[in-house]
Amino acid sequence: MNPLSIAVAQPNFTVGDVKKNLAKITDYVDRAKKELGCRAIVFPELSLTGYPPEDLLLRTDFLEQVDDALLELMARIDDIHVIVGHPLRDNNQLFNAASVIYRGKSIASYRKRELPNFGVFDEKRYFSAGHTPCVVDIDNCKVGLTICEDIWHRQPAADSVDAGAQLIVNLNASPFNIDKAREREAQVVSERAREVDVPIVYVNLVGGQDELVFDGGSFVVNSKGQTISRGHFFQEDLFCVGINDSPDDNRARQVSLLSNEESVYQALCLGVKDYVHKNGFSGAVLGLSGGIDSALTLAIAADALGSENVEAVLMPSQFTRAMSIEDAQAQARSLGVAYELISIEHLVESYRLALDPLFAGLPKDTTEENLQSRIRGNLLMAISNKTGKIVLTTGNKSEMAVGYATLYGDMAGGFAVIKDVPKTVVFALARYRNQQSAVIPERVITRPPSAELAPDQADTDSLPPYEILDPILEDFIENDLSPAEIASKGFDRGTVDQIVRMVVRNEHKRRQAPPGVRVTRRAFGRDRRYPITSGFS
């Protein structure tokens, strides 16, 4: 195989903004030629549209914009091979395609063969599947094109090699979850390279899109499955690799894989940053209670958006402990975040007086507790309306799973930062963030969690310890195990049944929750689509 220098580009595209995406592509092409001297450059899956474009793909006017942009891109390309992902219309069918553009025209196009239709993916809703390999000559190197899911299956790569490919290029929009980077590199792509005995260039998208975060981390493996070069995670990147380089060559560019805590934290920051910026908000506002969930959310928001663009609001009631106010103020000051303190006691009293005639003779229960949360939600939404800042909610996955959250209260907002982060992981992320710089007061991390909506309240009044709760939730939600199967692992059957009932009973709440960053293998919303009304027991 003749040596080939190829640039690997992982830009942060915006779904639907075809003109902006085109401008970014042409900028990267110019950099690859002028700064890196590369003969080819490869972009991620569906670069022109951003990923996933969802039902935009059903609009003729949108597809016409894509077609026009592709023609404009061809007109701008001269002496460099550009491999770019885009939707392709042909005979009343739509394909997820990759084209090779050189000297003003498309010299080859490939149509994705393996269309994922599970988890967060709905590609069979939009695309028809291709059936044949595509191998193109780039500077006397035979390059086989594949797209994302193709590389998880043996046949597309094997067919490319049978058609003469000496190198396989794989365009991806692979969303992040914990350990996904290791899985795709070590267990899938490296194994596939060894299996077909050719190098593989794996280019991945980076950026936040609604609930999904794409982590980048593009890489190149040689025919032995050894990683030659790896790009940065959670940031735009462009690097050039010589396909014949060895891992020890001084051209090789190695970026370390991240720890679980670091990768999740960076995913949350990127998800918040892109959601706020791409949707045109001026910043973010959140309720800061002195508890660990809001503390972690504030740290993420400040790191993602800059402390000057974040506002914290402390809203104590008669049940708020003094140390909660102290800790919340201390954290806001340590991060340089502006904060306001608004007592809600008089508002709670006003609500009570208004409702007393209706509630006469009825005992107090969670209704009175939830009023406090809903008052806080109203105040935050008013601040959002007035300032243009988005409200960030602070509930975690464990709470969302069992319904330990208040509709139109602490669930009210525009983006739920940690809605897919189990409580045990919240603690781990708080400790990770404090290793960088101590911004979360230690007492926030160590004291028992409490909603502080009633006297001396603790989460364990209503829930088992999170060390027990979270594994049960993972098995039921992410692994689809039955209560009997979960209990067989050593959990108390009564506790398992209680938790499962709570999860199922609160599906209606989760349907009304704002979007939030997906970090686990199966998040509520796009991943786990459970009926609200169901007779299944």
What string of DSSP letters covers 177-242? -TTHHHIIIIIIIHHHHHHHTS-EEEEE-EEEETTEEEEB--EEE-TTS-EEEE--BSS-EEEEEE
Domain boundary (240, 258, 276) is at 258
Question: Does one domain contain both 366 and 407?
Answer: yes
Whichever domain contains 26, its CATH number is: 3.60.110.10
148 catalytically annotated? yes
Question: Does one domain contain both 250 and 283?
Answer: no
Question: Does one domain contain both 247 and 340?
Answer: no
Q: Write down the catalytic residue from 38, 134, 141, 148.
A: 148
Domain hosting residue 313, numbered range = 264-463+506-511
Question: Does one domain contain both 248 and 385?
Answer: no
Q: pLDDT (tens digit, 9 = 90+) per residue, 418-449?
A: 999 999 999 999 999 999 999 999 999 998 87
Report if residue 91 sits inside a domain. Answer: yes
- Which carries the bigger pLDDT value, residue 485 or residue 461? 485
Domain count for the chain, please give it: 2
Average per-residue pLDDT for the chain: 93
Report if residue 166 sits inside a domain. Answer: yes
Predicted confidence at residue 1, as pLDDT, reads: 58
The pair phi, psi for residue 110, each rounded to 5°, is -120, 145
Predicted confidence at residue 462, as pLDDT, reads: 75
Domain boundary (258, 286, 308) is at 258
Report if residue 413 sits inside a domain. Answer: yes
Domain boundary (226, 258, 290) is at 258
Q: Write down the catalytic residue from 24, 38, 112, 389.
A: 112
- Interior/surface letters 241-280, b for 16+ CB within 10 angstroms, e for the rest: bbbbbeeeeeebbebebbeebbbbbbbbbbbbbbbbebee
Predicted confidence at residue 245, as pLDDT, reads: 54
Report if residue 323 sits inside a domain. Answer: yes
Question: Does one domain contain both 167 and 299?
Answer: no
pTM: 0.93
Predicted confidence at residue 244, as pLDDT, reads: 67
Integer angstrom CA distances of residue 354 from 132, 368, 511: 70, 12, 30
Sign of CA dihedral 154, 156, 160, 163: positive
Question: Does one domain contain both 204 and 297?
Answer: no
Predicted confidence at residue 246, as pLDDT, reads: 54
Encode 25-59 in three state secondary structure: HHHHHHHHHHCCCCCEEECCCCCCCCCCCHHHHHC
Q: pLDDT (tens digit, 9 = 90+) per residue, 172-230?
A: 999 999 989 999 998 899 999 999 999 999 999 999 999 999 999 999 999 999 999 99
The answer, yes or no, to whether residue 103 has pLDDT greater than 60, is: yes
Closest CA to 394 of 373, 375, 379: 373
Question: Does one domain contain both 249 and 387?
Answer: no
Q: Write down the catalytic residue from 45, 311, 369, 452.
A: 45
Report if residue 30 sits inside a domain. Answer: yes
Question: Does one domain contain both 196 and 219?
Answer: yes
Whichever domain contains 421, its CATH number is: 3.40.50.620
Report if residue 394 sits inside a domain. Answer: yes
Q: pLDDT (tens digit, 9 = 90+) per residue, 22-37?
A: 999 999 999 999 999 9
Question: Does one domain contain both 454 and 356?
Answer: yes
The answer, yes or no, to whether residue 248 has pLDDT greater than 60, is: no
The answer, yes or no, to whether residue 390 has pLDDT greater than 70, is: yes
Question: Does one domain contain both 253 and 381?
Answer: no
Question: Does one domain contain both 375 and 421?
Answer: yes
Question: Does one domain contain both 282 and 242?
Answer: no
Report if residue 149 sits inside a domain. Answer: yes
Report if residue 151 sits inside a domain. Answer: yes
